[in-house]
Structure 1
Amino acid sequence: MFNTKYVMSKGLGFAEYVEMQMLSEYASKGWILCKFGFLGYKLKKGTPQKLQYSLDYRNNADKEYFSYFKEAGWHHVCSMLNVIHIFSAPEGTKPIYTDINTESEKYMSQYKCIKVMVVPLLLFSALFFVLVLLAKYNYIPDIYRIIFGIALLLTVPLAVITTVSCVLCYRKANELEKVSTFSKKHKIIDRLSVIVLIVLVFLFILRNLNIISMSNAVFYLIFLISFLLNLLTCFTK
């Protein structure tokens, strides 16, 4: 009756291989990936196929990039913002990334692409946060507190997800290379940013559940520290 199906994504930065395996299982049941959907995928009903999927990141991919995959037996299925690309091939086709060096390059490319999104998201989150505070303390009309509050609720989750994904990508690259391509300073800042971000999320939940009491000044200070650390993580080499 229905020829299309929507499948929610679990987060490509967290479960890339799980998601690609999930799409393969759907293809074996006759649900073939056709394009990205909002926070997920759109599948189209068709003939069951034994397919494997591969995810890659390349900013402003050109014809040469797609030709490389095609020559290796991989069909381009869909892209998001010409940055995130999914390819499919019959089961048994040789993977594009066959060794540690090429797979590490993949994650480094992914890291660089996500970093481009992280910086503006963090900046917008900080801007909306400041504007909400200005409205709260009557420096600007109170109506803006609602407007910028909604904007803040939209940008903060995206900023958190992309930041964590960015961190995971370069960690995967480091694990594959065995030798870190990032400085010791970057590692320290990265670990601190993750710890402070986790602490901030827990404090926010506990504070709203009235389990703990905390002044706004302390909470805002932790938020500012978290923001600065994540921003430093994106710029520090």
Structure 2
Amino acid sequence: MIINGKKYVFSRGVAFYPEKEMEILKKQAQQGWAFQKLNAFGLLKFSKADPENKKFSVDFFSGSKTDISEYLSFYEEAGWECITAYKGKYFYFKADPCTPTIYSDEESYGLRMYKEWMWMFWRNLLCIPIGLVFFWLNVKLGQWDIPHNSLFFSTRMLLLFVGTFLTAMPLSIIINVIFSLVIYKDRRKFYDRPEQFAKKQRYVRDLAILMVIGAVIGALMAFTGLVDF
């Protein structure tokens, strides 16, 4: 979609489908749309520009803020131009088609993937117990012998919303991490052939499978009374 001269494309997920997403950036650049950033709504933002033939890469940065300058210099020396960053962890680059990939072997790329997965896993896992507390409070409040007025229902809706947000979202990301590790376990073998790996990724199929898994988990939560209202 194009709004006020800017083009927006839904992100496939920078953490789960970076190879496929880089192919999107490449195609848009060839059509005269320069990538600007990934916004908070999960949309890739482009501006009108001269068509160019470039290849793109996104890397996960696991260091501290004081190391960013050195990190970017390393990429620049290797022929990669930094375009933008997302959440201070994902850095987008572009380069001429003949530029070698940054990662030179499976081991280094595998380590990059491991650091990314662990960061996502633990960051989201810690949110789940907090979300479950809000679910528990919602259930306990429903058991109290108090007037069921507008304040009562508003409080329960708020507890349910916060509980869902702090539980369902992190849980879905953790499931995505595990799913990706199982379905795309050979990903690191394509460290120097990301465009070939992009062809192996099946975004629609994966989305359908994950939706079924989510529905099953939601049903189990309802069965145990966590989302009872």
TM-score (norm 1): 0.69
Instruction: Point out where structure 2 has 5 or more consecutive residues left out of the alignment.
Output: 147-151, 190-210
Aligned length: 196
**Does the CA contact (< 8 Å) of 1:31 and 1:45 recur in 2?**
yes
**Partners of 2:130 and 2:43 in 1: CA distance:** 24
**Partners of 1:130 and 1:167 in 2: CA distance:** 27
**Partners of 2:183 and 2:79 in 1: CA distance:** 26
**Does the CA contact (< 8 Å) of 2:84 and 2:91 recur in 1?**
yes
Pairwise CA distance, 1:215: 9.8
What residue is the counterpart of 1:22 in the other structure? Answer: 24
**Partners of 1:19 and 1:30 in 2: CA distance:** 17
Post-superposition Cα deviations, 1:118-153, rounded to whole Å, max 9, x if no partner, equal 123323322222222223323894432111222234
**Partners of 2:144 and 2:94 in 1: CA distance:** 55
Structure number with the higher helix fraction is 1
Identity of aligned residues (%): 20
**3-state DSSP of counterpart to 1:86:** strand
**Partners of 2:101 and 2:132 in 1: CA distance:** 41
Greater relative contact order: 1 or 2 (C-alpha under 8 angstroms, separation 6 or more)?
A: 2
Q: 1:157 to 1:44 in 2, by over 3 A?
A: farther
Q: Is 1:65 matched with 2:95? A: no
**3-state DSSP of counterpart to 2:115:** helix
Q: 1:2 to 1:96 in 2, by over 3 A?
A: same
| Equivalent residue letter for 2:125 | V
**Does the CA contact (< 8 Å) of 2:9 and 2:44 recur in 1?**
yes
Runs of 4+ in 1 over 6 A off after TM superposition: none
Q: Is 1:4 matched with 2:6? A: yes
Instruction: Point out where structure 1 has 5 or more consecutive residues left out of the alignment.
Output: 179-196, 208-213, 224-237
Alignment of 1:88-103 (within 5 A): 88-103=94-109
Alignment of 1:85-234 (within 5 A): 85-138=91-144, 141-168=152-179, 175=186, 201-202=215-216, 204=218, 218-220=223-225
Pairwise CA distance, 1:113: 2.4
After TM superposition, the structure 1 stretch with the greater mean CA deviation from structure 2, 4-13 or 44-53, is 4-13
Post-superposition Cα deviations, 1:9-36, rounded to whole Å, max 9, x if no partner, equal 1223332211111111011111111111
TM-score (norm 2): 0.71
